[in-house]
Amino acid sequence: MEYLLKGGIFMWPILAISVAVLALVLERVFALWLRYRLDEQGFLRGILNAVDQQDFAGALEECAREAQSPLARVCRAGLLKAHRRDREIESAMEEEMLRAVPQIRKRISYLSSLANIATLLGLLGTIQGLIQAFEGVGVADAATRQEILAQGISVAMLTTAFGLIVAIPTLMAHSLLQGRATRMIESVEEKALALFNRISALHRDLETSDVKLRMKAVEGGRRG
C-alpha cells in the first residue's frame, strides 16, 4: 500500500489490470484444464468401437455424458448425421467445430492487450513523475529541490516497475494458455477426422455389401 501511494495515480489502474488478469487466468485455467478435461484416447476408442458395431445410440450416449467437452460435441454432431452422405456429416462437424474453437480461445487474446496497457500505464507514470520532478526543481528553492527531485524519480521508477511486474507474468500466462488452447483444438480436429473417416468407411462397406447382394439377386434371377 505504501508503494501504491508513493507511485501516483497510475498505480491504481495498473492494480485494477492485475486483478482483471488474475480473474481471467483463473477462469481460463479452470476451463481448459478442468471443465474440458477428457480422456480423449479412451473416449475416441469407445466411440469408434460403437460405430464399428453400428451402435450409434450408444455412441451418442457416450457423447452426452461428456457434453462439456468440445470433442464430444463435435463427435455428436457427426454421429447425428451418420445416416446421411459424407458431405453432410463433414459439414455438421465443421459447423460444430466453428462453435467450439471460440469457446476454447475465449478471452485469451485479452491478456496480451492487458499486458500492453499495463506497460504503457507504467510509462505514463514514469513521464508524470519526471514532469513533477523537473517542474518542482524549477520553482522550488535550493533547500527543497533535492527532495522534490527524489519524489518525482520515485514516482517514475515505481510506476515503471509495477507496470512491468504486471505485464511480464501476463504475457507468460497468455503464452501458456494460447499453447494449451492450440493443442486442444488440434487434438479435437485430429480425433474428429478419425471418427469421420470411420463413418465414411462404414458407408462404403455397407454400399459394397448392398451392391454384392443385388448382384447375387440378379444372378439368381438369371439362373431361374
Each of the 224 residues of the chain gets a pLDDT tens digit; together they read 666 666 678 889 999 999 999 999 999 999 999 999 889 999 999 999 998 888 889 999 999 999 999 999 999 999 999 888 889 999 999 999 999 999 999 999 999 999 999 999 999 888 888 887 777 666 656 666 677 777 777 778 888 899 999 999 999 999 999 999 999 999 999 999 999 999 988 877 766 554 343 434 434 444 55
pLDDT of residue 132: 76
Q: Is 60 exposed, middle or buried (0-12, 13-18, 19+ CB in 10 A)?
A: middle
The residue among 37, 48, 102 whose CA lies nearest residue 71 is: 37
C-alpha cell of residue 205: 462397406
Side-chain-side CA neighbours of 3 within 13 Å: the count stands at: 10
Between CA 222 and CA 224 the distance in angstroms is 5
The residue ranges of every structural domain in the chain are 2-208
